[in-house]
């Protein structure tokens, strides 16, 4: 079974504290009738700080969709490669060992996808498959893990590189003053994350089963309005209650795997906000502290969209050594309303015997 190795995560150097966020909301949206409610909601998110790719005053400006998308492309090409290199090092593989790249992002657009640029820049083989996923929002982190699992199942002895690039600050719309928009202004942050799924060997989460679920007739609850000015985030007030119908789906997947959802060793959950974690704790019968990695991401980085589950997994790796066979679940939630779920157990398999690919053109020098 394939193994999800330790992710690499990087956040930009520009920090926005919750105090700065509240001051910004009061200054920019002083006349909004929704301001006081939004200030309370922002305070209750638990987000203490976020990281953004531009200084705050530049973030608040809106130079137009075209310029913003050029910033997205420039910053993605600058910030993604070092994170990928770290993820490859974590997996003890090189770019030549990668058979497919899954790239997830919902905050900018490129065609060809950044996958093509990465193949050329990193030195991947020209036969590397490209799987860009652009419209799953926050659920895309879980979806990327599941599609990597599926790819390895369909193509034995393959390795998959997952890349998440989310610059949520480029979606800030200074003229939007509805409650959902004002809340998102204080919730989302920027980050880049990457991880490798190895077909064998390595240390990490051995992926054993995955599932997807869509709550019927909720596709408008989280959405973008795409306008001349770019992506306008829309959030329905019913979204915070979606864990009540989704928690049984998580439970069913874990029980189908013959495990007890209340007795797992770790839980890596997308932290869209504190209510998601509080409700999952209640409906699954899990102690609130079991979601500490997700809460830490939310507190320190905000909601970093598809990168949340990868950052939570990174924190798990760095917090404590896990016994071989420790059981856990990954859950990503996003527009649709969509859930992407995976269960697996911890492995520390030896990489001895792992086939090493020889890049074309150097066989002679190795033999000679």
- Catalytic residue numbers read 138
Among residues 38, 62, 57, 40, the alpha carbon closest in space to that of 232 is found at: 62
d(CA 160, CA 129): 9
Annotate the chain with three-state secondary structure.
CCEECCCEEECCCEEEEHHHHHHHHHHHCCCCCCHHHHHHHHHHCCCCEEEECCCHHHHHCCCCHHHHHHHHHHHHHHHHHHHHHHHHHHHCCCHHHCCEEEEECCCCCCCCCHHHHHHHHHCCCCCCEEEEECCCHHHHHHHHHHHHHHHHHHCCCCCEEEEEEEEHHHHCCCCCCCHHHHHHHCCECEEEEEEEEECCCEEEEEEEEEEEEECCCCCCCEEEEEECCEEEEEECCCHHHCHHHHHHHHHHHHHHCCCCHHHCCEEEECCCCHHHHHHHHHHHCCCHHHHHHHHHHHHHHCECHHHHHHHHHHHHHHHCCCCCCCEEEEEEEECCCEEEEEEEEEEEECCCCCCCCCCCCCHHHHHC
Tokens found for residue 343 = 């269960």
Among residues 3, 8, 6, the alpha carbon closest in space to that of 193 is found at: 8
Q: Would strands 190-198 and 160-167 be described as parallel, antiparallel, or unpaired?
A: antiparallel
Half-sphere exposure of 268 (CA within 13 A, CB side): 29
d(CA 221, CA 256): 29
Whose tokens are 């998601």? That residue is 276
């Amino acid at each position: 079974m394939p193994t999800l190795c330790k992710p690499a995560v990087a956040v930009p150097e520009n920090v926005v504290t919750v105090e700065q966020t509240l001051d910004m909301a009061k200054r920019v949206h002083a006349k909004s009738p929704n301001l006081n409610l939004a200030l309370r909601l922002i305070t209750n998110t638990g987000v203490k700080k976020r990281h953004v790719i531009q200084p705050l005053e530049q973030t608040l400006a809106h130079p137009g969709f075209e310029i913003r998308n050029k910033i997205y492309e420039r910053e993605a090409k600058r910030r993604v490669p070092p994170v990928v290199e770290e993820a490859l090092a974590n997996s003890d593989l090189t770019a030549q060992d990668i058979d497919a790249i899954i790239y997830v992002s919902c905050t900018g657009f490129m065609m060809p996808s950044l996958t093509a640029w990465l193949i050329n820049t990193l030195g991947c083989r020209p036969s590397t498959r490209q799987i860009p996923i652009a419209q799953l929002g926050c659920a895309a982190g879980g979806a990327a893990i599941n599609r990597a699992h599926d790819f390895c199942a369909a193509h034995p002895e393959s390795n998959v590189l997952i890349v998440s690039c989310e610059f949520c600050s480029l979606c800030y719309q200074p003229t939007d003053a509805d409650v959902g928009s004002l809340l998102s202004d204080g919730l989302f942050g920027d980050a880049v994350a990457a991880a490798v799924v190895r077909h064998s060997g390595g240390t990490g989460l051995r992926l054993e089963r995955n599932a997807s679920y869509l709550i019927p007739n909720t596709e408008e609850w989280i959405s973008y309005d795409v306008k001349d000015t770019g992506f306008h985030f829309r959030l329905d007030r019913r979204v915070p209650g979606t864990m009540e119908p989704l928690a049984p789906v998580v439970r069913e997947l874990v029980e189908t795997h013959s495990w007890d959802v209340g007795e797992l060793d770790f839980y890596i959950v997308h932290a869209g906000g504190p209510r998601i974690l509080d409700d999952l704790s209640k409906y699954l019968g899990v102690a609130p502290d079991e979601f500490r990695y997700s809460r830490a991401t939310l507190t320190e980085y905000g909601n970093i969209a598809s990168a949340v589950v990868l950052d939570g997994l990174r924190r798990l790796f760095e917090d404590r050594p896990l016994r071989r066979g420790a059981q856990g679940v990954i859950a990503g939630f996003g527009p649709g309303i969509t859930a992407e779920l995976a269960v697996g157990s911890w492995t520390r398999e030896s990489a001895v015997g792992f086939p090493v690919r020889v890049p074309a053109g150097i066989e002679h020098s190795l033999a000679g």
